[in-house]
Structure 1
Amino acid sequence: MMRSSSVSVCGLVLLVLVVVLTASSSSEAAISCSDVVKDLRPCVSYLSGGSGKPPPACCSGAKSLASAASTTADRKTACNCIKSSAKSLTIKSQLAQSLPSNCGISIPFSISPDTDCSKIS
């Protein structure tokens, strides 16, 4: 059970890291949990049991979330939403780790289930 939870968190932490692509700051989040869920919903079945390349709708959603989460507050909100949602999902960590490169998104840092959302800038 603990391994499943760690894999879920790792996979979804990867997706939140997509959000950290832009670097600006603000004190109020304009993005909501419903925005995050809407953008990443097309990735769930792929990350849970897919193989190969993610579906175009998944990559489109991940790119959309990365664009929408343009402030520090937005990125922290997205991180917390994803970590909360991770509790109910089982994700294949290898698919999650390869999602950014498979979708043409670059993430210049390590992926970890231990991401502290409060430290995202």
Structure 2
Amino acid sequence: MGEKNVCGVVVLVMAYGLAITTLSRAQIPSTAQVPSICNGYQPLLFPCQPYLIGSLDHPTPNCCDGARVAFQGANNGEAIKKLCSCLVSVAPYLNFRHDKLVSLPPACNIHLSFSMDHCING
């Protein structure tokens, strides 16, 4: 009877460990989740993630620096379209909130030549 209890506890502990490991890995975004259209936007995407998912009320200086570089590169119609496509496609995978994406440029004191609301919400 004691061996059955020990085996049951071992199986339960193993199942619990597997569940915890799976949940932890699922919560951490990987670079594999970032589509190739987002190449070059990593300085915006990853440093800004705590702000864009809502963990922080204000973006960090590192986030604003990366955002500034990414937005400066969006200086013509094709580049703006690429940036917008990247943000729209990656937002669900990295759990970005649309309202935070729209508020990022003003929060970093970045003036855009295009509407971020239109970029994100179509």
Report if TM-score (shorter chain) is over 0.5.
Answer: yes
Is residue 71 of structure 1 aligned with residue 76 of structure 2? yes
TM-score (norm 2): 0.55
Q: Does 1:111 align with 2:117?
A: yes
Q: Is the 8 A contact 2:74 2:80 kept in 1?
A: yes
From 83, 86, 100, give the equivalent of 1:81: 86
Higher radius of gyration, 1 or 2 = 2
SS of the counterpart of 1:45? Answer: helix
Higher fraction of helix? 2
Find the counterpart in structure 2 of residue 98 from structure 1. Answer: 103
Higher relative contact order at CA 8 Å, sep ≥6: structure 1 or structure 2? 1
Is the Cα contact below 8 Å between 2:59 and 2:108 reproduced in 1? yes
Superposition RMSD on alpha carbons, in Å?
2.4
**Unmatched 5+ residue regions in structure 1?**
1-31, 116-121
Q: Give me the whole-angstrom Cα distance separating, in 1, the residues matched to 2:74 and 2:99.
A: 24
Distance verdict in 2 for CA 1:72–1:109, change over 3 Å: closer
Counterpart among 47, 51, 54 of residue 49 in structure 1: 54
TM-score (norm 1): 0.55
